[in-house]
Structure 1
Amino acid sequence: MVDMLDTAELKKLVITGLNWAMLAGSCLMKLPQINNILKAGSVVGLSETFVINDCIAGLLFVYYNVLSGHPFMSWGENVIVGVQNTIIIFLYWHYSPQLSKAPRFLGAVAFVVASVAVLLLGLPEAGVSALGTAPIILGNGSKVPQIWKNMAQKHTGTMAAVPALLGLAGCSVRVLTYALQTKDVVAILNPLAAAALWFILLLQFVLYWKTTKEVQKQAEAKRKEAGQKKAA
């Protein structure tokens, strides 16, 4: 009996420790990406589909967990990463003057309004299940265009390797904690699929490291040149 209690307490401590580690890691998740964009003054090599869908998928997963009543510590990192992803979206639009901004901002406002309605009013059971399934398709599917773009251009542009590394580690941990805490198959499938795609992206950072450095240097040089012209 004592051994069983000790095992239960140990399991609880391990899960708590992993959850806190996930929250701490999420605070740094996308900061290197934001820094790369600001440093280069460019979003070269980034896929807008990846940036937007990754953000939406993470937030939908938050709504699913809220409506399902899962403990905050088992999904809280998605809120923090969602804020960072939102910053990246606005940076992408800022450094892409060729894009039409009005429909994008209207879409963002519509998403915020719909999000508030869902969280305040709730959804039927089928709707909640759809929220849990959508990130598996949307979030993980958004990584595919970025992976394909990296393959085509033979570099990873202003993408940062740290988010991919933390994403792989975090998703692997989440598979374990969801299995131990909720045993929710839908919740487990999302980080499992994401871990596989983060692994592929991480491999691309290794494969295209040299060419990526050259592209980043060129982007930074262009930014400095543009700044000097404005100053003159």
Structure 2
Amino acid sequence: MAEILKGLILSVLSEKCYNEYFNEYNFLDVPCFKATLSKGLGIGIIVGSILVKVPQILKILGSKSAEGINIYGVYLELFAITANFAYSYVMNFPFSAWGEGTFLAIQTAIIGALVLHYGGAPVKATIFLATYVGLVSALVGGYTPKNVLWMMQAVNIPIILVAKSIQIITNYKNGSTGQLSAITCLLLFGGSIARIFTSIQETGDSIIILTYCITTIANGALVLQLFWYWNVDKTIKNINKKKKKNT
């Protein structure tokens, strides 16, 4: 039982930090505190990512509409997520530093398919999913050179800005955030902030760190729009209810 417990602890702590905490009883070791905090945050983000976009998916399914969600923004976001986890996987970074990318990619691909489906193109939705699975297999299966993966990660920065800007502009034009899920946006914002710290601690890769800084700014802009248009969305719903009663 003791060995099992130690194994679980070592999934979060390094051997050095395990020794500092449990043999030397040195609980004030700053490097170990940072490393442990980073690992814990990373695992927490991965666990949270399993369901982070589920509220968005359920909102689309419940309303049978993807109104207000720009498909081109979804495409670009999916590219950014995929490039990030494919690059990190091939570079052998710790899973705790990028693992949520796999779950976010799956959920974003589903959202993309739903937008196409409810936009009147169910065949395109099926082709889109099949094509995406094939591309991911090529990226992580050793068929893509590392320099190409690095370039994909590097162009993530402008792509993230464009992807989020498309959605931000769409919201502005509509005067509403439409079917965007507040829970999903808030979780993505919080996760991207935490990822700046974990990337510094666990990868030290400047391009990854910069990517998460840009992602945080972009996600923050969407969160601000959610709060700004919160009352607008409520007013629209109330007007629609009154119209239905009068007809």
Fold conserved (TM > 0.5)?
Answer: yes
Change in CA separation of 1:105 and 1:28 when aligned onto 2, cut-off 3 Å: closer
Counterpart of 1:61? Answer: 84
Q: Which residue of 1 aligns with 2:15?
A: none
- 1:149 paired to 2:170: yes
Task: Report the identity percentage.
Answer: 26
Distance 1:106 1:164 in 2: 27
In 2, Cα distance between equivalents of 1:87 and 1:219? 29
Based on CA coordinates, which of the two structures has the bigger radius of gyration? 2
AA paired with 1:15? Answer: S
Q: Which amino acid is 1:213 matched to?
A: K
How far apart in 1 are the matches of 2:125 and 2:238? 30
What is the distance in 2 between the residues matched to 1:145 and 1:186?
23
TM-score of the pair, normalised by structure 2:
0.79
Match of 2:38 in 1: 15
Aligned length: 221
Q: TM-score of the superposition, structure 1-length normalised?
A: 0.84
- Once residues 238 and 108 of structure 2 are traced to their aligned partners in structure 1, the CA distance between those partners, rounded to angstroms, is 24
Amino acid at match of 1:37: I
- After TM superposition, list the pairs within 5 Å mapping 1:153-232 onto structure 2: 153-214=174-235
Shift of 1:104: 5.8
Distance in 1 (alpha carbons) for counterparts of 2:58 and 2:124: 27
Q: Structure 2: which 5+ residue stretches go unaligned?
A: 1-19, 242-247
Letter in 2 for 1:151: Y
State how 1:42-57 maps to structure 2 within 5 Å.
42-57=65-80
Between the two structures, name the one with larger relative contact order (CA 8 Å, sep ≥ 6).
1
RMSD: 2.8
2:144 paired residue number: 123
Which deviations, in whole Å up to 9, do the C-alpha atoms of 1:120-157 show, x marking residues without a partner?
A: 22433421311221322323321111100111111000
Deviations for 1:12-71, whole angstroms, at most 9, x for unmatched residues?
Answer: 221121112101221231111112112211111111112222122211211010111111
Q: Does 1:133 align with 2:161?
A: no
The one-letter amino acid of 1:212's match is D
Shifted more, 111-120 versus 167-176: the winner is 111-120
Q: Provide the secondary structure at the position in 2 that maps to 1:121.
A: coil
